Structure 1
């Protein structure tokens, strides 16, 4: 079923040059764009300290999620769908394993961190972009659907761990906000 859904999502790849360019662009600049959006939150005027805490939490969740992925890669070696003949690849092949998707981890860690800080408008805007990045990774042929879902889960786990351990108005948080 995973291969079937992945093949279905990737089915339009290579048929519409403009759509291909958009999806490749989203895949390549989506994560850096989201990181920049989080960085820019530092200078908002409204609810400044809470938003700064959310931005720091998002950064920590991002890093923790990617660290979790590296641990998973020690044990899970899944070949890319284009190597298995499931998808048509639109970009250069990747040298690492397919599961989990680092793009999905990074984007969903950011979204989950903002969601856990009760910032709904920011969460919605970031969530739309994160879903587009995740979809693009399947569309361009680099990941299976479950690779993206697995990456999303590790990003959310990273955000939950950060939420439980890194508290707003703690000494560490106040120090980090003052230093940065």
Structure 2
């Protein structure tokens, strides 16, 4: 299985270094993709329409994001996978990271956002966030900092976190009304 992972990682990363504009774009997406998605989520707080539902989705999204990243920290205690550039699989376009490779926090964060929107019925925004999540995760492999399985594992963590939040943070409860009526 490692051979397939290394092959796919190398295939995506081998595109790096051939076009300065695409390299710049992928580095930029990798660096600023998550903060831009978080700002896009936060900006929805004042959205018109079904304000209570929208705010519930935004809180659920934030909880999914945080839960996914917390689970990643637990995984990192058990899994110490070296980065693909340290294994000679990829060419690194950015500064090296001291953290283990698996799972990708970027993939977890972006897929938690997309999954939360999709699961709570905000399909149009969810599809845009899903497209952005795909771009961010591909950029992480392209720039050489993650294996394909790292971003797949991170995406799965983010989706599972969104499922857990959807199951336990229910719309219309007293706690939900308290949180969604702030501001």
Task: Give TM-score, length-normalised by structure 2.
Answer: 0.97
| 1:67 maps to which of 66, 70, 73 | 70
Which runs of at least 4 in structure 1 moved beyond 6 Å after TM superposition? none
* Alignment-derived partner of residue 129 in structure 2: 126
Cα-to-partner distance string for 1:17-60 (whole Å, 9 max, x where unaligned): 00000000000000000000100111110221111111110000
| 2:31 maps to which of 15, 18, 28 | 28
Cα-to-partner distance string for 1:97-116 (whole Å, 9 max, x where unaligned): 00000000000000110011
Matched, 1:157 2:150: no
For the residues of structure 1 that align with 2:182 and 2:125, how far apart are their CA atoms? 24
Q: Which runs of 5+ in 2 are unaligned?
A: none
Contact 2:52 2:181 in 1 (8 A): no
For the residues of structure 2 that align with 1:59 and 1:36, how far apart are their CA atoms? 11
Please give the secondary structure, in 2, of the residue aligned with 1:92.
coil
* Alignment-derived partner of residue 13 in structure 1: 16
Q: Which runs of 5+ in 1 are unaligned?
A: none
Map 1:21-100 onto structure 2 (within 5 A).
21-100=24-103
Cα-to-partner distance string for 1:54-109 (whole Å, 9 max, x where unaligned): 11100000000000000001110100000000000000000000000000000000
* Alignment-derived partner of residue 178 in structure 2: 175
Q: How many residues align?
A: 180
**Deviation, structure 1 residue 179:** 2.4
Matched, 1:111 2:125: no
